[in-house]
Structure 1
Amino acid sequence: MGALPLLALKVLHAGTFQVSPPTFTGWLPHLVFSLPAGVVADWFDQRKIMIFCDVTRMLLIASVPLVGLAGGLSLPYNTAALSYRQVVCPPELQSRVSAVYLWICYGVIPLGSLFGGTLATAAGLEPTLWVCVTGMWSAALFVVFSPLRTLRDVPGSPMTGGIRPDSV
């Protein structure tokens, strides 16, 4: 997401108001697909959705011509991750866990933008994009090789009949 405004500024020599449409376009999938992603996350296994979306997003972001499609996969991943956290986290800790998750995911965006701009100015656009690709691969590999993929069923999911371990 941060690469589109950076490309507009560096390659196209765009002005401030010309950077807004690429940024809007990057966040548009969240507006359009938020509600359907919630339905999909309820129908399918959240673990598989998270792994599929993260691996697919990782492959797409490594391919610069298809990078625009990667933003759309963030939404089902985030929805599945939220559903998963709500199921495995005790109710009294859900707000804290959600706050920390959102702080970690979205709180670093301004820092990443600052770092990306500084790195692009110092090292150039291509090395900066490779750092971005490496970071996305690292994040996806962390999810793929986490204990998430070895769990058989998510407690409380429609696949287990909605039974949570703390409700038995």
Structure 2
Amino acid sequence: MIAMLVAVVLAVGLALATSSFHYATLRWLSGGMARIALQPGRRVLCIVFVVLLAHVGEVVLYAAAYGFSSRVLDLGRFGGLAVERPLDFLYFSIVTYTSLGLGDVFPGGHLRFIAGVEALNSLLLIAWSGSFIYLAMGRLWPWQRCAEPADRRAGDRRSRKGDQE
């Protein structure tokens, strides 16, 4: 019962920590980054790169929590391929974060709950990032005006001429 409660508190804490970190990152990108002089196209690239780095940081936080949870808190073990080194925890975390779920490594015990929360939390964070980048591109991306077909331009002139009469 105590292990389950620890897993729930840890999972909720991780979700709050990663969401807060993501909020702070996007907040900085929308405000603080404005002080850096960049061309619009390069600003979009920087936004994408910083958002990617934020996701990598969140994956690392979950990976550290898996290592701590399995080795220190004894909340469960991993099945499948051996999970012994930090890179193994990182691999499992990124597969879970991206909802790829290869199945070659799988959590047991209360680690399953933490993995489920990571997948749900990351789904929201990835969607949040996508919508943020979409809005940033809408404001910053230098779109070229498209050429209109000749017959449409002629039709527009005729209708404007009719409106003036």
Q: TM-score, normalised by structure 1?
A: 0.30
Q: Answer 1 or 2: higher relative contact order, Cα 8 Å, separation at least 6.
A: 2
Which structure shows the bigger proportion of residues in helix conformation? 1
Larger Rg over CA atoms: 2
Q: TM-score, normalised by structure 2?
A: 0.30
